[in-house]
Each structure stands twice: as structure tokens, then as C-alpha cells.
Amino acid sequence: MNATDPSIPLWRQLQAVAAVLQAIRGGVSGTAALNPVAPELRPGVQALIFHVLRSLGRAQALRQLLAQRTPPPPADALLCTALALAWQAQDAPYEVFTLVNQAVEAAKRGPATQQQASFINACLRRFLREREALVAATDTNPVACWNHPQWWINRLQKDWPDRWQQILAANNRHAPMSLRVNTRRTSVSAYLQTLTAAGLGAVGEGATGVTLDQPRPVPEIPGFAAGLVSVQDGAAQLAAPLLLSGLAASDPLRVLDACAAPGGKTAHLLEFADCNVTALEIDPQRALRIHQTVQRLGLQATVVVADAAAPSSWWDGQLFDAILLDAPCSASGIVRRHPDVRWLRRETDIAQLVAIQARLLKLLWPLLRPGGRLLYCTCSVFKAEGQHQLQTFLARNTDVALLPSPGHLMPSNGATQGTVPDNRDRDHDGFYYALLEKRAA
């Protein structure tokens, strides 16, 4: 799995991985934590940190057995990095003895870990001697077995008593690289021929989807720069057709994408139908990404830097035909793609996010014309952010009709609570979808 220049010493990579892990533990997203990593180290460090995050629960449990007192954060991050990479020999990215030796070397060479180098060496040498017994001793620890925080496991057990194990197992697998074909420029069949000509294997998925046999760096994807395709998970590709299919209008549809960055769903709306899309984003830097996305695809949207929850600051008073509310959420459905999420989220975050979602639903619903549609979605498998949120909204509003909707999509296995054309057997992230129609007063 060495994804970087083999001339770069492994100890340097391990130092960088430990620094990224420490930043994530401090509340920094994985993407932001990787930004300071030197370009020549970044590919290897990213591959290694993903491995670490998918085994962090086990590593922390092993570290607790090896050292009852938590060492300083830099030393703990390096120790847990080594344990996460080495605990399972058959899946280790390097030979286990090499990982241990290089982790000790990283400790000796790191200003923040030099004083703990002997301690780290002693822990890892003991781990090598007693690995089988130590791993067995952690097998009864749910956090070690499932590599998710205990509160997360508990919530899934309550929400999905028959599926929680499959969800957790799916979260620990690698996500496929899925693309959405820009059907204004080409077709799935034509693009598959382009990939074949480039020597790349792929399969078509539904009306717009393509899944690569092997992930590729985005700049190397044929046709990406020319706007033929976008990177988008299969579950996320459902949003535009769900919202717009069969929605009648004499003029181009007036559509609001309420939480639009980075612009993938905005672009899909424009690819799918002739419509005028207003894309809202509260963060100016993230709003720039929407501009870049639609420009690359040869599309045009009205991008507004504004808070969707403050319509008086941006709404012109004209009702929308359709509203896409891809609400802020826990991201519990995309853990396999963003393994840092499970360690960043706190149990108290869920109630705060549910309140934000409810507020957005309440404030945006009046902006929809009678007969118009609102698609509420989250990339979450927690019922509080999906099924329960919808039930509360329906109970508080009498002018709402729930149209056939997918409901909760589980990561990877394609299982749903509703009907998802062309998507039941696809390998996709976890999502929730509810399609709402506004009744005339």
C-alpha cells in the first residue's frame, strides 16, 4: 500500500500520519489536517491515515493495555498509529517488524516525541512479543471490534437492531469510486467506451452512473477536466431525478439548492433538466467551489453567499418550483469515504444538527409554491436525522404530502425502506431521502 516515493523513509511518513491523527483528535477534519503535509508525502500519508482511522478503536484498546496512563498527545498519536497499522499482520501495509522499528525511529527524530522514544519502544516491543494475547484481550471491547465510538454503536443498535452490524462493517470497507456522467455532453455507454480506450475498467450504473474498477486520482479521470463526468456517489446521484422527474412547469423550473457546496447536486440539477438554479452557501470559500464545479461542466447557476436559514437576506419573494434541502448532518452515512467522521463527531452533536435541520425545513417550506416539491435529504443513517425528523415535520404541517421516497439507504448493501429505481443493487453510501409536495391551501 506504499502510495508514495519509496525513497522517502517510512519514519517520515509515520511522523506525518501521527501529526494528522493528533489534529483529528483535536477536532480538525481529515481534509484540513492533511493540508499541511508536504506534497511528496501526502499520497502515502493519506493512505496510511485512512488505514489508521479504520482501526483506531482497536489501536486505542491495545494502547490502554500497554500503558494504563495516557502518554502526551504526540506520543499517544504515534503509538496508536503504529498499533493501528500493525495489529493485524495480514492487512498491515508494511511488514510488522518494519512498522515497529520505523515508529521508534520516528519517535527518536521527532522533537515532540524524543523524550517518549524509550517508552514507545518498550510498548511496541511488548506488543510484538504478546501480540496474539493482547489482541485477544481486546476482542470483547465493542469499540475495538467495530472501530466506532461506543455512543455511535449504541445509536445504530437502537435505530437498526437487525442491521447495525452490517452498517458498521460497511463503514470499515473502502468505498468505490463512482462517477456521474454529464448527459448534456455524452452518455454512459459512450463514456464507458472512452474508459475502455484509456485501458480503464468500469461498469455502468443506472442512467448516469459509472463505477471504476480501481480508484484514480481525479485529474487523471478521462474527460473530467472537459466536463464529461463528475465524482459523485451513487446515492447522491438520486437527488436530482427524485426532485425534478415529472414536475410540471410552463417555464424553466425555478429551483433552490439550499445548502449547495461543493456543487455536485447543483450541477446534476442543471444537467438533468432546463431550470434556473439558485445555489446557496454560507461559506464564501465553499461557494467558490460551486462556481468552479458548474463552470467545468459548462453550466450556469446563480450562486449566492447567504444563510439558507435567513431568507429575508437573500430571497426575492418569488416562490420556487422545487427546493433541494441537503441539510447539515452527522455524515454518518459516508464514514467509509470519510473515516475521520466517526472520531470527530460527538454524541451531543446529533441534537444540535437535528435542531438545525428542523429550522431549515420550517423556514424554507413557505418559499415553495403550491404543487411544488421539496426534497429533504441527509447523508446520515441515524433515524433522528431522517425518519424521525420527517415524522415531526409531517405532524406539524397540514399542507404536506409525502410522495414515494427512498427513505433510509444503508451504506453499500443497497437496502432501502422504499423504492429506488436503478439503485437497489448499487454499492453506495448511506443516505436519507423524503420527497414532499406542497398542497394548495
Report the catalytic residues. 379
Residue 364's nearest CA partner among 406, 315, 433, 402 is 315
Helix 150-159 to helix 347-364 angle (10° resolution) is 50
CA dist 302 → 13, 243, 258, 262 (Å): 43, 19, 12, 14
Cell (9 digits) for 227: 466536463
The angle at the Cα of 344, spanning 123 to 388, to the nearest 5 degrees, equals: 135
What is the DSSP secondary-structure string of 364-426? HGGGEEEEEEEEEEES---GGGTHHHHHHHHHH-SSEEEEEEEEEEPTTT--BSS--TTTTTS
**Cell 447523508 sits at which residue?**
379
Put the strands of the sheet holding 209-212 in their side by side order.
202-205, 209-212, 178-181, 229-231
Residues in the chain: 441
Q: Could you give the CA distance from residue 415 to residue 406 in angstroms, rounded to a whole number? A: 10
CA distance 91 to 88: 6
Task: Check if the beta carbon of residue 159 is closer than 8 Å to that of residue 383.
Answer: yes
- Measured distance CA(413)–CA(189) in Å, rounded: 25
Q: Order of strands, edge to edge, in the sheet holding 431-438?
A: 302-305, 275-281, 253-257, 320-326, 368-378, 431-438, 400-409
The DSSP symbol for 176 reads P
104: buried, middle or exposed (CB in 10 Å: 19+, 13-18, 0-12)?
A: buried
Neighbours of 395 (CB within 10 A): 9
